[in-house]
A and B are shown apart, each in its own frame.
Chain A
Amino acid sequence: MKTEQIEVNKIRKSKHKKRWTRDDTELSLLGLPCFVWFLLFSYQPMFGIIIAFKTFKIAPGHGFLYSLMGSDWAGLRNFRFFVQSNAFGMLLRNTVLYNIVFIVLGAVIPVVLAIVISQIYNKRAGKVYQTMMFFPHFMSWVVVSYFVYAFLSPDKGLINGIIRAFGGQTVQWYSEAKYWPYILVFMQVWKTIGYSMVVYLASITGIDQSLYEAAVIDGASKWQQAKYITLPSIKSVVVMMFILNVGRIFYSDFGLFYQVTQHIPNSLYTTVSTFDTYIFNAIRTNAPIGQTAAASFFQSIACCVTILLANFIVSKVDSDSAII
């Protein structure tokens, strides 16, 4: 009896040891080019984090990598420099506050609109509205900046033209910082409203109609139907978008802040600068690369932490909706 048991165990163990098959080789080769892409463009930059820990000096006559290896270690000096700089507080406030507003509006408005569109009688009209609202998504921020310019140009713009027609005082839009938080929030909602609404609408139309019919028989009002049937059905999509957005809370949509403001004139600097515009500017003006790297990696690390945190919190509350 005992030897039979040992034999069975041996067979079980060898079945667990998967053999490398010809299939595995072929599949590995098939996935190899993409794997190489990830190595070059996703993972190689991750190693660049050591730039943030060094005081980079070009070794004359040698390439970048050699110079990097030969530069001195700077410990946390670059990070400290960045965090203690005047810019940091402003950048942190701008980036995070704008994102919070974007996330909240981006979760509420498209959902409401999707429910509204699903309720109107004329479905063809609904499709037309949807198509028109999807239009801004396909414009690049450069093109959008021209659109905004047509309205806000100080001497020719439509808005100033209307103000002048009513005898009012024209506004130097691109020099007055106080309007820009509203302008930027409006433009962000304008550009993304169609995209999100379309995703939620697709989920809503997938809901089984018999659920609604049963609810009506039970005497549910429209509000109750929305609250108990519609919203829970799209919950996982909304939550997933929410987690992904929170995970990007230290990143910003560079195009929005840089292009719509016409390349951030000085007058708007403290109101519209975000981490991304700061880093971009540092790259373009050849600022010491260690400091720029510290700023950039602060973003990456902070966002990694927030996305894991957001996912963790959601998984505790409702484990089906978490993405990890």
Chain B
Amino acid sequence: MNRLNRIKPATNVVFNLLLLLLALVCIIPLILVFMVSISSEASLSAQGYRFIPESFSGTAYAFLWNERATILHALWISVLVTVLGTVLGLLLTTTMGYVLSRPVFRLKGFFTYVVFIPMIFNGGMLANYVVTNNLLGLGNNILALILPLAVSSFNIIICKTFFKSTIPDSIIESAKIDGATQFRIFGSIVMPISKPVLATIGLFLSFGYWNDWFQSTLYITDGRLFSLQALLDKMIKQIQYIAGNPSAGASLQQYISQMPTEGVRMAIAVVVVIPIACAYPFFQKYFISGLTIGAVKG
């Protein structure tokens, strides 16, 4: 920036302090939760949650390690749903995005309406529930976690804008002259040069699936299909839910009384959050580029 047009140094200090404060407010909750998870139960009972506890302890994590079966299973479900959902979502979104980007296509107007209208009128929570649960019979089925979230009109518009602006018509025309079908063009020419948009939409979808808990609350009652987020949700009211298999011989009461409850609560939250917290800074630029493309009218 031009040295002549800078803000005053004093203003710069004020701005930096303000931004620093806000940035800290954004990440402090994670720090508190992490500190609680490594506090000993004794200091938690005596002092409550503190940034710096009286004494540290790893018992919460040790406990989680013993119960890892439940957590690992939930992790498996989360991973499965995220991977399948992202792949499916990418396929559906990019095909429609490509089709809408073609300059001459008889059904383009029709498909555009099909994609655009749901942005204005939505069936609503109840109708979606009835369709997924009653009409399609996906109650307690892993597809209920995958299918409804696969496509969004916003993502399709991002794809369409990308294809329209990045793929020169000449390449497509020459491929057609060589006798390629649209399928071949899409698969062999368009996809390989679409890595940025694939990364962006893929990330949107992945984070959407990974963080979803709402679909589980509506459709899943079978514990074997709980994702990590669903597990966290169940545990808000019932901390003992984590007890997949209490050690043989001990009653549930005894088990709960031995559980380092407070620390465990926060430890699970930490376990769920840390992967995302570490990963997202690397993917920021894809998110930003996707959001800005979408914000420019497609």
Contacts and interface: CB of A to CB of B under 8 A. Distances in A.
Tell me whether A and B are bound partners.
Answer: yes
Interface of A: 18, 20-21, 23-24, 26-31, 33-35, 37-38, 40-46, 48-49, 51, 63-65, 113, 116-117, 119-122, 125-126, 128-136, 138-151, 153, 155-158, 160-161, 190, 193-195, 198-199, 202-203, 209, 212-213, 216, 222, 225, 236-237, 240-241, 247, 254-255, 259, 262-263, 276, 279-280, 282-283, 289, 292-293, 295-297, 299-301, 303-304, 307-308, 323
Contact of A156 (B44, B124, B131): B44
A46 B51 CA distance: 50
Contacts of A259: 233, 236
Contacts of A38: 114-115, 118, 151
B256 interface: no
A245 B19 CA distance: 26
Nearest to A160: B48
A140 B186 contact: no
A132 B32 contact: no
A120 B291 contact: no
A143 B232 contact: yes
Contact of A216 (B2, B44, B48, B233): B2
Given A151-B29, A161-B47, A146 B182 contact: no
A142 B232 CA distance: 7
Interface in B18-76: 18-20, 22-27, 29-30, 32-33, 36, 44, 47-51
A129 B24 CA distance: 9
A262 B7 CA distance: 45
Interface string B269-292: 100110011001100100110011
A120 B16 contact: yes
Nearest to B298: A323
User: Top 6 nearest A-B pairs by Cβ distance?
Assistant: A45-B123, A48-B127, A45-B127, A147-B29, A296-B124, A26-B182
B176 A129 contact: no
A116 B2 contact: no
Contact of A27 (B50, B93, B107, B156): B107
A49 B130 CA distance: 11
Nearest to A294: B126
B7 A27 contact: no
A107 to B, nearest CB: 14
Contact of A140 (B24, B148, B213): B213
A139 B273 contact: yes
B12 to A, nearest CB: 5
B12 A121 contact: yes
Contact of A31 (B25, B96, B127, B295): B96
Q: Give the interface size bracket for B toward A.
A: 35 or more
A199 B288 contact: yes
B120 interface: yes
Contacts of B255: none
A51 B114 CA distance: 23
B95 A33 contact: yes
A40 B131 contact: yes
Interface in B120-178: 120-132, 134-136, 147-148, 150-151, 156, 176
B214 interface: yes
Interface of B: 1-2, 4-7, 11-12, 15-16, 18-20, 22-27, 29-30, 32-33, 36, 44, 47-51, 91-93, 95-96, 98-100, 102, 104-107, 111, 114-115, 117-118, 120-132, 134-136, 147-148, 150-151, 156, 176, 181-183, 186, 207, 211-214, 218, 229, 232-233, 236-237, 262, 265-266, 269, 272-273, 276-277, 280-281, 284, 287-288, 291-292, 295-297
Given A46-B127, A48-B130, A263-B237, A216 B24 contact: no
B268 to A, nearest CB: 8
B127 A151 contact: no
Nearest to B9: A121
25 contacts: A18-B106, A24-B105, A27-B107, A31-B107, A34-B156, A37-B150, A42-B122, A45-B130, A46-B123, A49-B123, A51-B126, A51-B127, A116-B15, A119-B11, A125-B19, A135-B27, A138-B207, A143-B273, A147-B29, A153-B49, A194-B26, A213-B2, A240-B297, A280-B218, A292-B126
B122 A27 contact: no
Contact of A45 (B5, B15, B124): B124
Nearest to A322: B297
B295 to A, nearest CB: 5
A23 B132 CA distance: 34
Contact of A293 (B26, B96, B122, B127): B127
A51 B218 CA distance: 19
A283 B124 CA distance: 12
A133 B151 contact: no
Given A30-B99, A113-B22, A37 B151 contact: yes
A46 B24 CA distance: 44
Nearest to A132: B23
Contact of B236 (A30, A31, A145, A216): A145
A254 B214 contact: yes
Contacts of A130: 284
A308 B120 CA distance: 8
Contact of B126 (A133, A240, A241, A295): A295
A48 B131 contact: yes
Contact of A146 (B121, B176, B269): B269
Contacts of A295: 126
Contacts of B121: 46, 300-301, 303-304
B125 A30 contact: no
Contacts of B295: 199, 203, 237, 240-241
Nearest to A116: B15
